A and B are shown apart, each in its own frame.
Chain A
Amino acid sequence: MESRPVKMRGKVVDGVAEIKVLMKHPMETGTRRDDAGAVIPAEFIEQVTCEHNGNVVLTADWGTSVSKNPYFAFKVKSAKSGDTVKVGWTDNLGNASKGEIVLK
């Protein structure tokens, strides 16, 4: 599998960190067909986990109707400069990837 990095940006405003995440993933629904008429198998991110300094602060379950190469933004309370925020995903085929940033 080609590498699927999780790109992240974050900024802290009044103690709340705004995190923007861009994931590389085809998000195939499993209903599309290729030119030969064969069904393209489903391949989509099922779960996303967001951690702040090692504590899980938010999890997301996704279906197939999340757009290809998903963009996702969320906010974390009581965040400050120097904190670590991690975002990881796993898909229905068992693939996984994660990203990490240190807040400025």
Chain B
Amino acid sequence: MQIQAIRQPSRRRFIQGLMSIIALSALPFQLLARSTKAFQATKLETVKAELFGDLPIVDSSDISLDIPDIAENGAVVPVSVSTTIEGAEAIHVVIEQNPNPLSASFKLTEFSVADISMRVKMGKSSMVTAYIKTPTTIYKTSREVKVTIGGCGG
């Protein structure tokens, strides 16, 4: 009996400690870390679920997605995204037909302008979509890009 009396609380404390460690380690991960799952996802639906959860996604004409209609070299496709949407928190660039559709996520602050440019690789012709995240809604605009030489050769 004595042994049990000692053991019981210690096991409880052990479990409590374990729970708090799990809770603590999960917290900064959710706040800061990149969405590794979204970057490793191979399906567009998974990317959207990981990044946006249940937020509504609507088409918007207030996003400028500047990308060539025909990319002669899929290894280097210039992309520019800018928007005038108020409260934009993040810009996500998604290339639907790539092995991992999510290409890049940019997290904005009140000191940065929602206007970025970069270059991406495209394996084959694909829809390219820019998603703008606001606290309540996801706005998107898409362009189709034809690739004449694939980007997988690097």
Contact = CB atoms under 8 A, between A and B. Distances in A.
B119 to A, nearest CB: 4
A62 B108 CA distance: 14
Given A66-B119, A66-B121, A68-B154, A61 B113 contact: no
B118 A66 contact: yes
B104 A68 contact: no
Given A46-B34, A61-B35, A63-B39, A56 B109 contact: yes
Interface residues of A, number: 33
A61 B104 contact: yes
B103 interface: yes
Contact of A57 (B76, B99, B109, B115): B109
Interface residues of B, number: 36
A60 B107 contact: yes
B111 interface: yes
Interface in B133-154: 151-154
Nearest to A28: B154
Given A31-B152, A32-B152, A77-B111, A60 B119 contact: no
A9 to B, nearest CB: 13
Nearest to A68: B154
B57 interface: no
B43 to A, nearest CB: 14
Contacts of B117: 71-74
Nearest to B120: A65
Contacts of A56: 109
A7 to B, nearest CB: 15
Nearest to B75: A67
30 contacts: A27-B121, A28-B154, A29-B99, A29-B121, A32-B153, A46-B34, A47-B34, A56-B109, A59-B106, A59-B107, A60-B104, A60-B107, A61-B35, A62-B105, A63-B100, A65-B98, A65-B120, A65-B151, A67-B76, A67-B118, A70-B119, A72-B117, A73-B80, A73-B116, A74-B117, A75-B115, A76-B111, A76-B112, A77-B111, A77-B112
Interface of B: 34-35, 39, 75-78, 80, 95, 98-100, 102-113, 115-122, 151-154
